[in-house]
Amino acid sequence: MAKTVTFGEIMLRLKSPEHERLFQSPKLEATFGGGEANVAVSLSIFGKDATFVTSVPDNAVGEAAIDELRKHGVNTKFINKVKGGRLGIYFLETGACARPSLVVYDRADSCIAKAKASDFNWDEILDDACWFHVTGITPALSQDAADATLDAMKIAKKAGATVSMDLNYRKKLWNYGKKAPEVMRELVKYVDVVIANEEDIQMCLGITAPGVDVTKGHLDTEDYKKLTDAVKSEFPNVQIVAVTLRESISADKNGWSAVLSGKTGFYKSKKYAIDDIIDRVGGGDSFSAGMIYGLQEYATDEQQALEYAVAASCLKHTIPGDFNLTRKSEVLALAGGDGSGRVQR
């Protein structure tokens, strides 16, 4: 089985209990997560050969992060251990009703932020890889991380792997003197599959879609066809653009769907009404994993690939933590119309 490789940062996640404010009580729930790690875990659970590449500190915290990945079947052979380094941390407060969720980052000078392109033997790592996935988070951390990402993407393309990128704009992270488009527009020149929402495309690539406003609770998919066409026009190397459409009615009630401008046409998924959201963090990563899986398994049916990705992400909203622990059979059941939630016996 050809492997899928993801590259990025895994972090320690510290979350306040249930819907409490941060430090409202003395307890914080400790788990691990991070965009590209989340994708690798989900792909492994779907049955794919998934490899995650990063740098972690050579201490008990770094080992615990690696163990968590291994528990879900992810290949960790190419994870660098750095003496004296630190693992990035993010604090999470889950919102409710009109109060949005809050993320506070503590990831400056983390191992991956200080990693250099020369730290990774990409020729060996990408040997027999059919797919390489990154996000816009890693190049936002530092110039070194951006350079390492670009180097990996170039080698992946040369090796014949499909390259996907979730643009994943994070305004709190771009602090090293460059604006996102300065870096991201160069990276996207090596991408085959772009995954994003409308804000990501605007803030990372400088491409806008008139009439798009997610705060209104209603989205016009025709505007997104214009948006995806514009991305493909500016970046002819991009073959597929998948855009998630989140209608944010409140912190725990969202509409969820997506569109895909593919090789064979423009497709719109079914729309899910997600009420009583348990945890939306990692929802976009689960969509990316579903999209990668769908495009690998249903290469001749882009509509089916899209439906798989949207269903996988919808289910992630019901699971606490960063990782989507949903199995392939559950995704297929929901994509096929079974959203009853009845007990499975």
Burial class (CB in 10 A: 0-12, 13-18, 19+), 254: buried
- Asked whether the CA dihedral 313, 164, 207, 136 is positive or negative, the reply is positive
Please say whether the beta carbons of 316 and 274 come within 8 A: no
Q: In the chain, where does DSSP find H-type helix?
A: 35-45, 60-71, 122-125, 138-141, 143-158, 180-187, 198-205, 221-234, 283-297, 302-316, 328-335
pLDDT at residue number 251: 85
pLDDT for position 213: 59
- Confirm whether 344 is domain-assigned: no
Residue 136 · residue 168 · CB < 8 Å: yes
216 pLDDT higher than 90: no
Over the stretch 292-307, which tens digit does the pLDDT of each residue have?
999 999 999 999 999 9
Q: Take residue 141 and report the two structure tokens written for it.
A: 């951390």
Q: What share of the chain is helix, strand, coil (3-state, %, to 5)?
A: 35, 25, 40
The number of folded domains in the chain is 1
Residue 341 lies in a domain: no
CATH code at 278? 3.40.1190.20
Report d(CA 289, CA 273) in Å as an integer.
Answer: 21
Q: What is the reported pLDDT for 208?
A: 85
- Name which of 90, 120, 127, 85 is nearest 105 in CA terms: 90
Whole-Å CA distances, 132 to 43, 186, 242: 12, 17, 16
What lies within 8 Å, CB to CB, of 199 at 6+ separation is 169, 214
Mode of pairing for the β-strands spanning 3-7 and 129-135: parallel
Residue 29 pairs in a beta bridge with 15
d(CA 197, CA 203): 10
Give residue-wise pLDDT tens across range 1-13: 799 999 999 999 9
Across the range 80-99, mean pLDDT stands at 94
Global pTM reads 0.95
Per-residue pLDDT, 218? 55
Q: Is the pLDDT of residue 345 over 90?
A: no
Residue type for position 19:
H
Report pLDDT digits (tens) over 96-146.
899 999 999 999 999 999 999 999 999 999 999 999 999 999 999 999 999
Do the Cβ atoms of 245 and 207 come closer than 8 Å? Answer: no
- What pLDDT, on a 0 to 100 scale, did the predictor assign at position 72? 98
Instruction: Spell out the residues 6+ positions from residue 206 whose beta carbon is closer than 8 angstroms to its own.
Output: 181, 185
Query: What value does the mean pLDDT take over residues 158-181?
Result: 96
* Per-residue model confidence (pLDDT) at position 343: 43
User: At what angle are helices 35-45 and 60-71 packed, to 10 degrees?
Assistant: 30
Inside any domain, residue 50: yes
Which residues are bridge partners to 125 per DSSP?
none
Asked if residue 91 belongs to a domain, the reply is yes
Task: Check the CA dihedral 10-16-22-23 and report its sign.
Answer: negative
Residue 325, helix vs strand vs coil: coil
Rounded to an integer, the average pLDDT of 297-320 is 97
What is the mean predicted confidence (pLDDT) over 60-77? 98
- Residue 200 forms part of a structural domain: yes
User: What's the whole-number mean pLDDT along residues 256-271?
Assistant: 96
Residue 180 lies in a domain: yes
State whether residue 207 is helix, strand or coil: coil
Which residue segment(s) compose the domain that 174 sits in? 3-334
Residue 93 domain flag: yes
Ranked by mean pLDDT, the top range of 37-51, 98-112, 263-277 is 37-51
- Of the candidates 139, 140, 158, 157, the one whose C-alpha atom is nearest the C-alpha of residue 149 is 139
Q: Which two three-digit tokens encode residue 48? A: 């794919």
Cβ atoms of 117 and 149 closer than 8 Å: no
- Percent over 90 (pLDDT), the chain: 86
- Residue 131 lies inside a defined structural domain of this protein: yes
More confident of the two residues 44 and 95: 44
Residues ≥6 apart with Cβ < 8 Å to 102:
22, 91, 92, 93, 95
User: Region 150-168: what's the mean pLDDT?
Assistant: 97
Residue 305's CB: how many other CB atoms inside 10 A? 25
Q: How far is CA 20 from CA 70, 117, 213, 221, in A?
A: 31, 40, 29, 35
Q: What is the pLDDT of the chain when averaged over all its residues?
A: 93
- State the amino acid at position 55 in one-letter form: S
pLDDT at residue number 252 = 85
